[in-house]
Amino acid sequence: MPAKDKEQRRITKQKWVSRNLEHIAASVRAYNKRRRGDLIQQLGGCCKKCGYCKNMAALDFHHIDPATKKKQVRDWMRLDFDVSTVVLLCRNCHAEVEHPELEIQS
């Protein structure tokens, strides 16, 4: 395949991407929402500590062993994300587990 054709395809693709950025971003958001929902269902759909299961946005993947966490902020987006390395916790329980030193003494 001539290099000129390859370069022309790259330019054509780049133009298509720039014309369709909103559509691509919406597709990625929809995919991520489905994937996150699927992972949450695989983990039982509720906080393992308190049983909260009202809103998906309030549920986090807590890494049982912090060493298994990839350096990315949202490693659940990775295709090789291993669901067996995490438990589902609500935001409150996750904060309590991650920061026991901040507990308010009464």
Size of the site for Zn ion (CB under 5 A): 6
What residues from 30 to 69 belong to the interface with Zn ion (CB under 5 A)? 47, 49-50, 52
Report the phi/psi class of residue 81: left, alpha or beta, with left for phi > 0 and alpha for psi in -120 to 50: beta
- Shortest gap between Cβ of 104 and Zn ion (angstroms)? 17
User: Given the rule CB under 5 A, which of 13-21, 29-37, 58-66, 91-99 is the region that contacts Zn ion?
Assistant: 91-99
Strands (E), 2-95: 59-63, 86-90
Interatomic CA distance for residues 16 and 1, integer angstroms: 22
Q: Which residues bind Zn ion (CB under 5 A)?
A: 47, 49-50, 52, 90, 93
